[in-house]
Structures are given as C-alpha cells and as structure tokens.
A and B are shown apart, each in its own frame.
Chain A
Amino acid sequence: MWMIEIPPFFPFFIGALIVSLTRGRLRGMIMVAIPIVSALHLWLMPEGIHLQFLLFDYQLIPYRIDKLSLMFGYVFHIAALIGIIYSLHLRDTMQQVSAMMYAGSGLGAVFAGDLLTLFIFWELLAFTSVFLIWARRTERAFVAGMRYLIIQVLSGVILLAGALFYASDNNTLEFGYIGLDSVAGWLIFIAFGIKCAFPMAHNWLTDAYPEATVTGTVFLSAFTTKVAVYALARAYPGVELLVYIGAAMTCFPIFFAVIENDLRRVLAYSLLNQVGFMVVGIGIGTALAINGAVAHAFNDVIFKGLLFMSMGAVLHMTGRINGSELGGLYKTMPKTTILCIVGAASISAFPLFSGFVSKSMVVSAALEEGFEWIWLMLLFASAGVFHHAGIKIPYFAFFAHDSGIRANDPPKNMLVAMAIAAGLCLAIGIYPQALYALLPFDTGYNPYDATHVLAQTQLLFFSALAFVWLNLKGLYPPELRSINLDFDWVYRRAFPTALQKIFTIIWKLDRVLRQGLKLKLKVYLTFIAQKNGRLSGLLSKNYPSGSMVMWVAVVLAIYLFLSFIQ
C-alpha cells in the first residue's frame, strides 16, 4: 500500500509547485485543500516508521510517527490552514509559494526520524521562510531578512557538525534522546538553542518577525520556534539546564515588551516568553511537564497566530503598527477587537481559554518537582504576559486615546481565519480533554480544580488592577516613537563599529607605509634612470616601455613573415 505512506511534507511541496503554476480562485482552492487533505491523511496513519532507506552505512528515516511528532504534525496543519485562509486575498506568488514550502519543511522536520533528514528540513525552514520577510520589499525587511538567514543557517551548520560527531560516536543517525554528555550533544543543543531563541540568541526573532509581511509573520510565528521546541523535547527531556534557560526566557522579554512601541515586536517578545514556558517544561522532564510543554506549544501556535493576525489586520487596514500612532480602533474594527481580545485572554491563560489548560501544567510541575524559585519566576512571567500581551496589545491598538484613524474591519478571509483560531482557543479552553487525549503521556491532569482557577484568576485580576492603578497615577510608560537596544546591538552596532575603527587604523597605517615605500622607489628609480641616461637614450626613464613592446611585436611579425615565405 505505497499510496498511503506519503510523508506530509510531500503534498505541501507539490502544492507549492501547483500554486506557482495557477492563478486566482483555483490557486486559492488548491491552497486551502492541501492542508485539509494532508491532515485527514495524517489522521488515518498509525504510529511507527513509514519510510526508511539506507544511505551508505546509515539508516535514514524520513517519515516516522509517534505521539510527540503527531501533536506537532496536527498543529502545523491547523496553522497552515489558518495562515492560508488569512492570506487568500494576496496576489503574490513569491509569498504563497514560500508559505507552502515553509509549512512543508516544518512538517518534514517534526516527522524526521534521523538527524540528516532533520538537518535538511532545518535548513529548508530557513531558506523558505526568509522570503516571507523579503516579500515586504523594503530595505529594512531586506537587511533584517539577511540577518535572520545568516543566523538560521549558522544554526543548521552547527547541527550538521553535531550530527557528524554523533554519527561517529554512536554509529547511527537515529534522532532520539541525545543528552549533554558529549561534544555532539552540546553542538546539537546549541543548534536547537539558536532556533529556539535562547537568551542572547533571541534577536533574530524580535528583529525579523516584525519586519515580515502582514501574512508572513503569521506563518513565521507558527513553525520555526515550535520545531525547535519539538527537537528539544525529543533530544533533551529532563536536562536541568533547560529549566534555568527557560525561566530566563519567560522573564526578561516582558520588560522589553512593556517599553516596545511596535506592537508586532511586542508580540515577538511575548512569543519568546511563551517558548520559555515550554523550555522549562522540557527541562523538568516529568510526564506532566512534557505534556505541559507540548500542549502549550500546540495552544501557542493558535493563540499567538491569532494575535499576530489581529495586529496584521490593523497593519493591513491602517498601514501603521506603532502603539504611539494607534488607538480608538474599536469604533470601526469591532470584530477584530473582539477576536484580538480572545487571543489576549488565551495567551494570558484566563480560565476557559486555551492558555490556561496548558500553562498550568508546566507551572504545577515546577512546584511539584521542588523548583520553588523557578515557580515564582513563572508566576511573575504569567502576570507579566497578561500585562503586555493581554492588556497592552488590545489597549493601545483598539482603545487608549482616539488616534482619529477610522479603518474598517479587514477582508472577510482574514476575519474567517481569525474566527477559526479564536474558536479553537475557546474550544480547547472549555473542553481540554480533547487536547489531553492526544498528548504523549496520560497523567489524568485536571486544570479546573477550584484552587487553580481561583489562584490564576486572582493573579490576573490584580495584575489588571495594577495596570489601572499605574495608568491613573500616570506611572505607565507612554508609547513613544523609539526603538530599544537589545542583544542585537552587539552585532549590529558594537562589532561593526569596532571593526570599522580597526580598519580605519589599518588603512591609515597602510597609507603611511605605502607612501614611504613609493617615495623610496621613486628615489631608486631616478637614481637608476640617471645612470642609464648617461649610457644610452634608449634605456632612459623617459623612453616609453610601450615602444619596446612594439619592437618585440615587430620582430615576431618578421619571424612569422619569414616562416611563410620559406
């Protein structure tokens, strides 16, 4: 039955090809049909290895299904479908083709059963997604995309190096638990870490995502970091270092998010914060924590997609995205406002919304395993994410002071995509058992016990109270036209400036040396010329060297001529 064993990336790649050859309504229909058909197909597939072959001495497994990869497989199909519907109004072949390829690469990576296949899709993720940034067709987007590509490719190269070490150590390329006790383990860890946007390697995300197109960011937010989370969950569960890295990731971005003006960049920072929760879950490594991490990745794809879509709708309709220029949009964009608030409530983990049923697993696991201080950091991050993503985003875009902009709700396809995402957020929040049934482990966890619900509601309501109080007191930082320095300052400003300074010195030194040398040379030349000038006029300095070349040519011509008449 070879028909059945088609890996999910395949229909997407074929789809990309068809998309590039079709136009208009037909293209739209094909794009919508592919994730639906592929998802149905995946639904029917049993677990196990479905495709493998030998390359030299190594067993390659391009298609392997288990519970962990299946979760990501499902959510990537959902994300692809939502993103495609959201971008149906586009007439841009470059974006539509690269979006299909990008979704396919994400699916290829999560179903890869060996490190070489993983590496190929890892790099494909980078090369296909960068076009979603360049498609903005501005100079800023171009350079941001270039930085993004360089860092992503670097991650891939490190992964390849790690995979080679791994193969020589273990004589296999199979992608399973790796751990940190070898060089290969560390190299692969760093590669995953870059793609997972670990602190100090995080700026490719906050730099590039806000520069991408309206629809491109929706795709970008779904795949790259989640593939990295999946890879970490498979290779490094229970590695304690991840707990601390993840906790740092949950906390530091919220400070930047509070003072950031570009609302899509605020969302990029909150994406880091959410990925932090997943990384903590993987680091704790118990069944509950891994379940929490995976479930949170699943939910995050949907609610972060919803938030990026709502901000994309604002950018699409008003042409603006800075908090300082927006406000009062609820008057003319009521539907977008409501959908955005659903996303905001989900990411803030309000009970009955999707974030609550997954984030609480990670937080509970942290407390159960005795990570008390980490638990406090996670609570702080939970309050913080509500502050910047839950309140700041909807407040500054749709309420706050009236900016005078009277933009309408976006095109219907955008609203439909957002409505699907919002519906899923609510459905998962209200009936989490459907999601839990798909998780890798069966823990019998129930998020809706009175203690949990009360604690979370108290935390959130008093955070809201803090926002109100700060606003009334005038202590809340106003949205200003500005950018904030982050770690990328090191490679965008410090390094280049230092290099430039060094090169200025080198060039100056070089000029002095060369001038000295030229002077010396001149002195010698005049000295020799004077000597020759006395001997004969033919060798003098004033006699052009071209004439000698001419005479050589003449002599050769005569030779040639002589050879003919012989």
Chain B
Amino acid sequence: MKLQKKHLFDAPKNIKRILRLLYVCCVLLLVLDFIIDRHISHNWENLWGFYPIFGFVSCVILVLVATRMRTFLMRNEDYYRDEGTNDKAITSSATQSGEASKRKDCISQKSTTKKGDRDVDD
C-alpha cells in the first residue's frame, strides 16, 4: 500500500493556526471600533460592540432555535415516499408516457396493498 498523501487540514496544527487567525481578527475588529471614526445613522449603532455582539448572539440563537425545531419537524427520509398516490392530480396526469403510466401502476399497487380499508371493487 502506498502511503496516503497528507493534506492541509489533516494536521491538527493547521486547524489551530486557522482558528488562532480568526481569534486575532476578531480582537482586531473590536479594537478598530474605537479607532475608526464612524458616522452613525442610528443610536443602536452607538452601543459598544453592537455589530460584533449582534452577529455572535444572533448566530447562537439561530442555531439553538433551529436545533430545537428538529424535535418536531424532523422526519424519516422516506416520509413522503407514498405521496404519489395521495394526490389525485399527480397520478391522473401521470399517463403522459408509457414509462410514467407503468410507474403509476406500481404506485397504485403499492397503495392498495397498504391501505386495505378502502374498498373500491365493490
């Protein structure tokens, strides 16, 4: 076996370097807040570190809320799998090509076996 080529981020050292660069940039940007003479059009912008704090806090809230949303929105990947049969408009117009109608047949077969309480052939 050949030795696998080492890539840029395979070494944890490089990841650390990138992160350190990010931290330095963040500190610098905070300091610049005081150095640069800003012309401000709204009072909120005058608050100390308004943009940095807003950016950080809003992202944390965004992620935490979104993670919470998973508890009631997340479903299995094939949740909608048998949807084709539920929507009449879709199956009825599925007769456009031979392939499509074949597909329809196999869908409807699936559905009749699945939903037994619907008695159509009476």
Contact = CB atoms under 8 A, between A and B. Distances in A.
Main secondary structure of the interface of A (DSSP, over half): helix
A506 B35 CA distance: 75
Contacts of B30: 458
Interface stretch (A21-29, A254-262, A440-448, A557-565): A254-262
A451 interface: yes
Interface residues of B, number: 64
Interface in B24-38: 25-26, 29-30, 32-33, 36-38
Interface in B14-61: 19, 22-23, 25-26, 29-30, 32-33, 36-42, 44-45, 49, 51-60
A259 B59 contact: no
Interface stretch (A64-72, A237-245, A338-346, A473-481): A473-481
Contacts of A486: 73
Interface stretch (A73-81, A162-170, A462-470): A462-470
A330 interface: yes
A367 B42 CA distance: 8
Contacts of B22: 461, 464-465, 468
Interface residues of A, number: 68
B33 to A, nearest CB: 7
Contacts of B32: 454
B54 A459 contact: yes
B58 to A, nearest CB: 5
13 contacts: A142-B103, A146-B90, A146-B93, A255-B65, A383-B58, A451-B36, A455-B51, A458-B49, A463-B59, A475-B63, A476-B63, A484-B74, A485-B73
Interface of A: 139, 142-143, 146-147, 150, 254-256, 258-259, 330-331, 364, 367-368, 372, 375, 379-380, 383-384, 387, 399, 449-451, 454-470, 475-477, 480-486, 491-493, 496-497, 499-500, 503-504, 507-508, 510-511, 514
Interface of B: 5, 7-9, 19, 22-23, 25-26, 29-30, 32-33, 36-42, 44-45, 49, 51-60, 62-67, 69-70, 73-77, 79-80, 83-84, 86-87, 89-90, 93-94, 100, 103, 115, 117-120, 122
